[in-house]
Every structure is written in C-alpha cells, then in structure tokens.
Chains A and B, each alone.
Chain A
Amino acid sequence: MINRLLAYIVKHVDRQLFTLVALLLCVGLVTLFSAAGGGDDGFIRVRGQLANIAVAFGVMWIAANVPLHYLNRMALPLYVFGLILLVLVDIFGTISNGAQRWLSVGFTKFQPSELMKIALPLMLAWYFDRYEAILRLRNFAVGAILVLVPVLLIAKQPDLGTALLVSAAGFYVLFLAGLSWKILVGLGLAGSASLPFLWSMMHDYQRQRVLTLLDPSQDPLGAGYHTIQSTIALGSGGFMGKGWLNGTQAHLDFLPERTTDFIFAVYAEEFGLIGNVVLIVLFMLVIGRGLVIAANAPTLFTRLLAGAVTLTFFTYAFVNMGMVSGILPVVGVPLPLISYGGTSLVTILFGIGLLMSIHTHRRLVQT
C-alpha cells in the first residue's frame, strides 16, 4: 500500500533533477543559516525557508503530474490571467521600496510578475506550436508583441530585474523556435541603436545602477555600495573561503540583502572559489539536465517550453552571480534555489515541475 503510494508520488518526479534541486536547496539552507547571523536568527530563517520549500515542492509535484495536453490548454488562460494581474498591480498594488510590485491576496502578498516568468514561455510555446509547420516572420512579430506587453507592464512597476528575466524567457522561446539569424543580428543592431532611447526611458535609480556598474567606486556609500561590499566579500573569501559562519562581511552587516539577492556573496566569502566551482557545477548539471529534457521532448510546444524554462533558470543563476561578483548591474534577481524567498522558489520549482512533467509524460504523447 505504502509502496504503491510512494510509487505514485515519485512516478513523475525526475530523480536526477530532484537530486540536484535538493542538493542546491541544502546549500541554500546552510548558507541562509549563516547569512541570517546563525543561532536563533538563523534557525528562524531556515524554518521559514523550509516552509517555502514545502509549498514549492507541492507546486512542483502538481506541475510534474499535469499531463502535457492540460499544459497546452492552460497556456492562453494563464497568460491572460497574468496580464490581468499585472494591470491590477498597476492599479491596486502595494508600494514598497518605491516600486509597485505586490498584490495582496488576503493572507499573503504575491508578485504577479513572477507568474509571467512561466506564463509567457508557456504562451509563446503554445502559440508557436500551433503554427509549427509554417513559422513565418509574422508569427515572430506576434511572438514579439506577446513578449513586449507583459515586459513593459513589469518594467513600468518598475522592476527591471524581472522585466529582464521575463523578456529573456520570451526571447529564448523565439530563438529556439528558429528566429532567423538575420533578424537576430538586426535586433541586436536595433537594440544598440535604441540604447540612448532606453536611457531616456529609464528611472533615475536604474540609470544610477548602470553608471555604478561601470564604476562602483564613484559612489561607494550610495549606489556602488552593494557591488563594492559584495566584491570585497567574494575576494576576501579567497580560494578556500573563511569557513562557514566566519564571513565577516556578512556578519558585520556590511552586506545588504544578504539572505536574499546577495546571499551568493555570503556563500562565496565562506566557501571560497572551491565552493563557487561546486555551485557552478551543480547549476550546470541542472541546466544540462533541462536541455537534455528539452532535446528529447516530444512536441515543439514541450521542446520550447522545456528549453525556455531551463534557460530562464540559467539566466537567474548567471545574472545573480554576475551582479554579486561585479560584472553585471545590480538588478533584483535572486539566486535560484539558494536565496531566501517564497515567490521565486515556487516559480522556479514550478518550472522544474514542468520539466519533470515533460520528461515523464513524453512516451504517453508519442504513443
């Protein structure tokens, strides 16, 4: 009986992905304990994150068990629902830190832009899948619009980091769907040409972040502070790291947001270059597994979806580590599976769940 229940539970859970995810979550909990200051504070944070993990695992399991044709059908409604929520946020959202990102839903707050990270690739994959045989420029134009609408809504909140991730997710679908190189190059050129225009559209704090990226020392106590302090944490960690709970940058409050977006600095300070390599390898294994799943996916829809979800995960990891180590501007992107926070964890494990579903349901589709 129990065996059958277990078999039922693990039926659609990909062991490799699950193992890697679990390892990363453990690394996250260990780092979180230290980042929160250890002791009672550490335990409180870890307990909170464990609750987040429990919820996210639930979401992952459900996603893993959703048959692919349901996913197919969910695409359009989810996308529309996401758009509506984004509009609602614009009207009713809670303002915090000068940005309107949160929507209160009774017991909890919720960031609709997170939903878009899944809903947009889902929608695009569904759209391209419908026109599988005859993908034309027109289809890509529609795809571009499908990307731009939510991205602009999110950028307006303003939430540059999420807008970047969402547009990246959308772009990956367009790219994997076979967007021609000519258009890619053209877009690249157009993008460069529109930089001044983008600059004029940016909020002051966004411009500041870009400027600070170019020269963090320009404003060491202001906008450059995050980058300088996190780079110091990284560099002072050295090859071997200072050891767990021994990171001075973190424990002496020099690192801001050290349990969330900057948790990687704590990790890198305490575990050094060796720890970083381990982390990079773990991330690459997750991404590699995701790409394998995408390569073996049965339909264009699932292929695009699996590819986009995997690459979004990659983008999270790369942007976050790049920002902490000072080669990318500071945008609010958490380190997937490591940073503290429920919303992003749920989104990421939902994506992982989708990958599992695509992998474990593929034979059902083929036959």
Chain B
Amino acid sequence: MNRTVELRDHQRELYYFQLRLAIVGGGVLFTFFVLFVRFFYVQVIQHEYYHTLAEQNRIFVVPVVPNRGLILDRNGVVLAHNFAAYTLEITTTQVRDVPALINQLSTLVEITPKDRKRFAKLLEEGHDFASIPIRTRLNDEEVARFAVNRYRFPGVEINARLFRHYPNGEIASHVVGYIGRISDGDVEQLRKDGLAANYSASDYIGKVGLEQRYEKQLRGVTGYEHVETDANGRSVRTLRSILPVSGNNLLLALDARLQQVAEQAFGDRRGSLVAIEPKTGGVLALVSKPGFDPNLFVEGIDPQNWDALNNSPDHPLNNRALQGVYPPGSTFKPFMALAGLETGKRKPTFTISDPGYFVLGGGGGHVYRDWKAGGHGMVDLHKAVVQSCDTYFYGLAQDLGIDAIHQFIGQFGLGQKTGIDIDGEVAGLLPSQDWKQRRFQQKWFVGDTISVGIGQGYNLTTPLQLAQATAILANDGHVFRPHVVRHIQDSQTDSLTTIEPQPIAEIPLKDENVRRVRDAMVDVTKPGGTAAWAGLNTKYLFAGKTGTAQVIGMKGQKYDEDRIHERHRDHALFIAYAPADDPKIALAILVENGGHGGSTAAPIARQVVDFYLLGKEPPPPKPAAVKEEQEND
C-alpha cells in the first residue's frame, strides 16, 4: 500500500516534472525563435540600412586640396608659390567656451592679440567651414608641445596646410593680386556656378588680380581619399584615392625685374605705370603705387593691417593702372595731331602764330590760355607736339569738332575698357555730344571741345588706356588686347597653352602721318622738347610726350607750384615708346601730384626703357635726406 502510494506519487512527480520540462522546452524553442526573427529582421530585412551604416562607420571621404598653380614672370621668376605649414585650428561647433579654450591653448603655443583678433574676425564672417585657424605657421616645437596635450583639447587640431606665398611682397602686388579666405559671397557664387564641390575643405580663393581672374586655371581639381577609420576616427588605411589635379601655372608676359625697376623709380611717389609690348599686347610691367604686401591677406588679414590699408589716404588697395581715372592732358596731343593729319584738317606745313592764348570765335570771345605765357611763336604740327603748344590744338579741336575727335581717338581705346586679363577695370571717358546729352541732358558747347583738344575737359583715361593707345600708335594702328598672362602651363603635361596675341582691330592710318607724329614725339625727348632732360644721350630713338593734368581748376590765377598743397598739385604724365623705329616697349606713366610730366614722369620712363632695352641698371635709390633736399629746390 505504502509502496504503491509512493510509487504513484513518484510517477506523478515525474509526470509533473516532465510536463514542466516540456513547458520550459517550449519556452526555449520560442525564445530562440524570437532571436531568429530578430536576426532575420536585422540581417536580411534591414541589411541594406546597416550595411550603409557600417560603411559610413569605416569610410570617410576626405577631400584633398590641390596644389595651386604657380605664377611666374616671363623669365621664370616666381611671383606666387605655395609652402606647407602647420596651423592650429579650432572647430568652434565642438567647443563650448571658445575664449577659455584659446586662453588654455595660449599656455602651450604663443597666441598674439593679433591672432585673436584675426580669429574673431574669421569667426564673425561666419563661414560654414569646419575649422578656423587660431595660429598659423607653428614651428616644430609648438607642434610637438600641442601634440602631447592634444587629448585635453577636443575640437582643436593641427593641420598641415599649403599656404600661398608671394616672395616679392609688394612687387607686382596689383597684378598678381592675392588669395583670401572664401567668404559667404564666394560660396554663393561657387554654388551658382556649380563649383562648390571643388572647394570642399579648402579655405582660399583668388580675390584680386590674376589670382582672381585665373582662379579656375590656378585652382586645380580637388582630389578625394576614401579613408578607412577606426572608432576614434584615426585613419587605418586609405582604400581609394582620387589624386587632386594641381592647378595650372601662369607664365606672364610681365617682366618682374622691369616691374621692380619701375616701382623703385617711383620712390615714394604715388602713381602708375603700364608698359606694353606693342607687337603682342603683352603687359611688361603694371605698376600702381603704393602697393601692398599680398602676403598679409593669405591667412586672413588682421583688422589692424586691414584698417591701415583701407583707411590710408594713399589708397594702396586701389589699382590705379586700371581704376584710376585722370585727364590725359597733353599726352592726348599726338593722337589729336594724327587725327588732324588723317582727317585732312591739318597739313604738316600748316602754321599758326601763337600769341599765348586762343580766342574762341562766336563763343562770346572766351579766351583759352596756353601753358606758356607769351606763346610759342610760329607753330606747325611738329613744333606743336614737341613744345606741347596748347594754342595749336585748341584750334585743331575746334576744326575737328567733338564727334570727329571722339570717333578717331576712340579707335585707340581711350574711354573704353581695354579688356586686360585683370578684373576691375574702369572705362574712363572720351566725351561726345551723345554722351553729354545722355549724362547731363545738355547740349554740347563748342567751348567744351576746346579743352578736350588738350586732354582736359571731360576727358578721363586710365594709365592702362594711355599705355594701350601708345602701343597702338607705336604699332602703326594694329590693336592687340593687352594681356598679362602669356602662357598657361598644364600641370599634368607641362605643355604650354599660349594666349596668342590676336590683333583685335586695325586702324587705317597713313604711314607718312604716323611717321610725322612719331618724329615729333622723338623730338620731344631731344633738346628743345618738353622731355629733353629725360631723353639726354639715349642710345635708341625715344618717342615720348609729356602731359600735365590739372587737379583743381585755377580760375585764371597763375599756377604756382610752390604755393599749392601737395595734393592739389598737377598730375604728371608721360607716354613713350622705344625704339621709335622698331618699338619694343610702349608705356604710360602717371605720377600723382608730380607737377610737370617732363620733370617727374619722363625720367621714370627713361629708367624703365633703359633697363628694358639696354639692361641698364637704374642708379641706386637716393638716401631720403638728399631726396628731401631736391624736392625743396
């Protein structure tokens, strides 16, 4: 009995136990099934999603900034190149308290107030770029010091970056221009042009000069590296890389030595010089004084330097060669003379008797004075150019009429953009009846024409236009577009693409007329001419013409240079080409408030031409004290 009960209990126990075991077994199956469902969901249904995540996890696409193309002068002198340097950069979005961070960093690496200001300015400009440099050009010791402490500074990194450098500093700064940090406006423009991708991870873009104009050539193509990284973002290896394509090099027509000679010849004076090779239109030198150091802009200019450049009364950032407009003054006269000959209004033998003034008939008897009181006596066309006789050209202007002047001289490009390969050029002004009507809704008066005849009145030209007009004159009326870049050198193949000098126009001129004007211009630099001193003992035929442009109207007073404030003195002008029988260089010079063209502008031309044609080094710059003395003479 007892046994059976026990046995039955035992069986029942076992039965219950096995029942529970079966339930548990079912539970096990169920839970493993749940796991399977989960695996199936993640590994099959969601596979694509996680696959992408895993790829993103490990592969970062890192843009590789291409090497910017070099800028070299016609002899291979480097005007702009790149060097690598370390920068300390802060990703501000990853940092809570930026000023505190900078203070901390300054215990490791020297950070000057200038650096801080520049950083603040860049931050304010608010680009959507990842990191902003707080310090550039770290030395090895600073790099090492930061590297050891790097873990303390999340969001701060040291990057090796390529920097643009302009080894010649101010020399040719207005031609070469500079690059600067990409602004919001630049970004917008790049997006519009569909070029934004090519600028990923790069901070710089050409802002001014050739750097700006040839940005597409110089820039190159951004490369990409697909970098496999670990969880800490350290790269493990490069999976694939599309190499960047370096930018193309620019080989200029410009001669850096000549440019330097020209800039030094200006000394401390403000002004501009443009020298053009007449047979090609190649720009040999393009000076705008004062210049600036383009290197200041490369890393983002600090506010102090910016203010200094921007607020200087000398306006060093203005490119006077392209943007400065001045009355051409007497440099207008050779073109007037040619107009007289070509239109038949003047014969070479036609002579006037110059009393020292011109009276406009029928215009109320208004008197126009010659610059030389008492006049030049008997004056024909040749003498009128050589001595710059105003009276002769007053009469010629009246006979030609404004529209003929406008039509003829307009062919030489005055009052129009020349189309040089630097941006920012202004048109200037060569007046006409139409223009006055449009501009002032006023009738043109004959009196207006008289002053235009000697390059005054409404006339406004840029030094570049004057140089271009001179080059056309020197080249017998063959017009070439002035250009600074002669060749573009492909960075991959080194092959040169030559910017062919293409004649863009042909002015129908009679050889004998051109020769007459040229002969007169040659005599300008001979004894008896207005630039006789500057033309002393030249070994080549030196054709030139002086000019003076009034800054303020004198209203009948006698112009007394010594009494007038320096900034109110006349601008000195000089145009020239040489050798006159086979012109290799044509140039225009403007010296702001330089007084007479013959005394300040022409000597600069002589130095430049001597150097260019004869390789003659200019005299060493005079010590300041001596110069001071001379100016007081």
Same complex: yes
Quick check: is B188 within 8 A (CB to CB) of the other chain? no
Quick check: is A105 within 8 A (CB to CB) of the other chain? no
**CB-nearest residue of chain A relative to B16?**
A178
Quick check: is B44 within 8 A (CB to CB) of the other chain? yes
Quick check: is A303 within 8 A (CB to CB) of the other chain? yes
Among A232, A233, A253, A277, the most chain B Cβ lie within 10 Å of the Cβ of A232
Decide if B57 touches A248 in the complex (CB within 8 Å).
Answer: yes
| Given A132-B13, A232-B53, A287-B39 contact (CB < 8 Å) | no
Distance from B592 Cβ to chain A, minimum over Cβ atoms (Å): 63
**CB-nearest residue of chain A relative to B54?**
A236
Q: Which of B9, B24, B29, B55 contacts A172 (CB 8 A)?
A: B24
**CB-nearest residue of chain B relative to A321?**
B35
| Given A239-B44, A303-B17, A233-B24 contact (CB < 8 Å) | no
Residues 9-31 of B, flagged 1 when their CB comes within 8 A of A and 0 if not, give 10001001110110011001101
Quick check: is B32 within 8 A (CB to CB) of the other chain? yes
Decide if B35 touches A238 in the complex (CB within 8 Å).
Answer: no
Residues 304-347 of A, flagged 1 when their CB comes within 8 A of B and 0 if not, give 00010001001000100110011100000000000000000000
Measured in the bound complex, the distance between the Cα atoms of B53 and A232 in whole Å is 7
Decide if B49 touches A280 in the complex (CB within 8 Å).
Answer: no
Quick check: is A235 within 8 A (CB to CB) of the other chain? yes
Quick check: is B228 within 8 A (CB to CB) of the other chain? yes
| Given A132-B13, A235-B47, A249-B36 contact (CB < 8 Å) | no
| Given A235-B42, A252-B228, A322-B35, A176-B54 contact (CB < 8 Å) | no
Residues of B within 8 A of A254 (CB): 57-58, 230-231
Residues of B within 8 A of A249 (CB): 54, 57-58
Quick check: is B46 within 8 A (CB to CB) of the other chain? yes
Distance from A65 Cβ to chain B, minimum over Cβ atoms (Å): 26
Chain B stretch 252-298: residues in CB contact (< 8 A) with chain A: none
Residues of B within 8 A of A238 (CB): 43-44, 47, 51
Chain A stretch 269-323: residues in CB contact (< 8 A) with chain B: 272-273, 276-277, 280, 283-284, 287-288, 291, 294-295, 300, 303, 307, 311, 314, 318, 321-322
Decide if A252 touches B58 in the complex (CB within 8 Å).
Answer: yes
Distance from B51 Cβ to chain A, minimum over Cβ atoms (Å): 5
Decide if B47 touches A239 in the complex (CB within 8 Å).
Answer: yes
Decide if B24 touches A234 in the complex (CB within 8 Å).
Answer: no
Quick check: is A237 within 8 A (CB to CB) of the other chain? yes
Q: Which of A175, A236, A239, A277 contacts B53 (CB 8 A)?
A: A236
Distance from B22 Cβ to chain A, minimum over Cβ atoms (Å): 9
Measured in the bound complex, the distance between the Cα atoms of B40 and A268 in whole Å is 11
| Given A248-B57, A272-B43, A178-B38 contact (CB < 8 Å) | no
Residues of B within 8 A of A176 (CB): 17, 20-21, 24
Quick check: is A133 within 8 A (CB to CB) of the other chain? yes
Among B17, B51, B55, the most chain A Cβ lie within 10 Å of the Cβ of B17
Q: Which of B28, B29, B32, B58 contacts A248 (CB 8 A)?
A: B58
Measured in the bound complex, the distance between the Cα atoms of B229 and A259 in whole Å is 20
Measured in the bound complex, the distance between the Cα atoms of B28 and A314 in whole Å is 7
Decide if B50 touches A294 in the complex (CB within 8 Å).
Answer: no
**CB-nearest residue of chain A relative to B9?**
A133
Quick check: is A34 within 8 A (CB to CB) of the other chain? no
Quick check: is B196 within 8 A (CB to CB) of the other chain? no
Quick check: is B236 within 8 A (CB to CB) of the other chain? yes
Quick check: is B492 within 8 A (CB to CB) of the other chain? no
| Given A252-B229, A277-B36, A280-B32, A291-B25 contact (CB < 8 Å) | yes
Among A178, A235, A237, A291, the most chain B Cβ lie within 10 Å of the Cβ of A235
**CB-nearest residue of chain A relative to B45?**
A235
Distance from B5 Cβ to chain A, minimum over Cβ atoms (Å): 10
Measured in the bound complex, the distance between the Cα atoms of B236 and A284 in whole Å is 40
Q: Is the interface of A mostly helix, strand, loop or mixed?
A: helix
Residues of B within 8 A of A231 (CB): 42, 50
Q: Which of B31, B44, B47, B230 contacts A253 (CB 8 A)?
A: B230
**CB-nearest residue of chain B relative to A284?**
B32
Decide if B35 touches A232 in the complex (CB within 8 Å).
Answer: no
Distance from A260 Cβ to chain B, minimum over Cβ atoms (Å): 17
Q: Which of A175, A229, A300 contacts B13 (CB 8 A)?
A: A300
Distance from B633 Cβ to chain A, minimum over Cβ atoms (Å): 78
Q: Which of B28, B32, B36, B53 contacts A235 (CB 8 A)?
A: B53
Interface residue tally for chain B (C-beta within 8 Å): 39
Q: Which of B6, B21, B51, B228 contacts A294 (CB 8 A)?
A: B21
Measured in the bound complex, the distance between the Cα atoms of B6 and A249 in whole Å is 60
Residues of B within 8 A of A326 (CB): 38, 42
Chain B stretch 490-533: residues in CB contact (< 8 A) with chain A: none
Measured in the bound complex, the distance between the Cα atoms of B13 and A176 in whole Å is 10
Quick check: is B349 within 8 A (CB to CB) of the other chain? no
| Given A231-B50, A249-B57, A273-B40 contact (CB < 8 Å) | yes
Decide if B18 touches A237 in the complex (CB within 8 Å).
Answer: no
Measured in the bound complex, the distance between the Cα atoms of B127 and A272 in whole Å is 45
Residues of B within 8 A of A295 (CB): 17-18, 21
Quick check: is B232 within 8 A (CB to CB) of the other chain? yes
Distance from A155 Cβ to chain B, minimum over Cβ atoms (Å): 23
Measured in the bound complex, the distance between the Cα atoms of B6 and A245 in whole Å is 60
**CB-nearest residue of chain B relative to A288?**
B25
| Given A248-B54, A253-B232, A295-B21, A284-B47 contact (CB < 8 Å) | no
Measured in the bound complex, the distance between the Cα atoms of B39 and A237 in whole Å is 10
Measured in the bound complex, the distance between the Cα atoms of B34 and A327 in whole Å is 10
Distance from B449 Cβ to chain A, minimum over Cβ atoms (Å): 80
Decide if B35 touches A318 in the complex (CB within 8 Å).
Answer: yes
Decide if B42 touches A287 in the complex (CB within 8 Å).
Answer: no
Measured in the bound complex, the distance between the Cα atoms of B230 and A231 in whole Å is 17
Decide if A232 touches B50 in the complex (CB within 8 Å).
Answer: yes
Distance from B543 Cβ to chain A, minimum over Cβ atoms (Å): 75
Residues 231-261 of B, flagged 1 when their CB comes within 8 A of A and 0 if not, give 1100010000000000000000000000000
Distance from B258 Cβ to chain A, minimum over Cβ atoms (Å): 59
Measured in the bound complex, the distance between the Cα atoms of B6 and A234 in whole Å is 53
Residues of B within 8 A of A239 (CB): 43-44, 47
Measured in the bound complex, the distance between the Cα atoms of B15 and A178 in whole Å is 11
Among A237, A252, A303, the most chain B Cβ lie within 10 Å of the Cβ of A252
Residues 43-79 of B, flagged 1 when their CB comes within 8 A of A and 0 if not, give 1101101110111011000000000000000000000
Residues of B within 8 A of A236 (CB): 47, 50-51, 53-55
| Given A268-B43, A318-B35, A287-B28 contact (CB < 8 Å) | yes
Residues of B within 8 A of A237 (CB): 43
Distance from B121 Cβ to chain A, minimum over Cβ atoms (Å): 33
Distance from A39 Cβ to chain B, minimum over Cβ atoms (Å): 15
Measured in the bound complex, the distance between the Cα atoms of B42 and A62 in whole Å is 42
Decide if B54 touches A232 in the complex (CB within 8 Å).
Answer: yes
Residues of B within 8 A of A178 (CB): 13, 16-17, 20
Residues 168-187 of A, flagged 1 when their CB comes within 8 A of B and 0 if not, give 00001001101000000000
Measured in the bound complex, the distance between the Cα atoms of B416 and A108 in whole Å is 93
A132-B13, A287-B28 are known; give 18 further A-B pairs, CB within 8 A.
Answer: A133-B9, A176-B21, A235-B51, A235-B54, A236-B47, A239-B44, A249-B54, A249-B57, A252-B229, A252-B231, A253-B230, A268-B39, A273-B40, A276-B43, A283-B32, A284-B29, A314-B31, A318-B35
A–B Cβ pairs within 8 angstroms, 29 of them: A175-B24, A178-B13, A178-B16, A229-B57, A229-B231, A234-B43, A234-B50, A235-B46, A235-B50, A236-B47, A236-B50, A248-B54, A249-B54, A249-B57, A252-B228, A252-B230, A252-B231, A253-B230, A253-B231, A268-B43, A284-B32, A291-B21, A295-B17, A295-B18, A300-B17, A311-B24, A314-B31, A318-B31, A327-B38
A contact set with B: CB distance below 8 Å = 132-133, 172, 175-176, 178, 229, 231-239, 248-249, 252-254, 268, 272-273, 276-277, 280, 283-284, 287-288, 291, 294-295, 300, 303, 307, 311, 314, 318, 321-322, 325-327
B contact set with A: CB distance below 8 Å = 6, 9, 13, 16-18, 20-21, 24-25, 28-29, 31-32, 34-36, 38-40, 42-44, 46-47, 49-51, 53-55, 57-58, 228-232, 236
The 3 closest A-B pairs by CB, nearest first: A235-B50, A236-B54, A253-B230
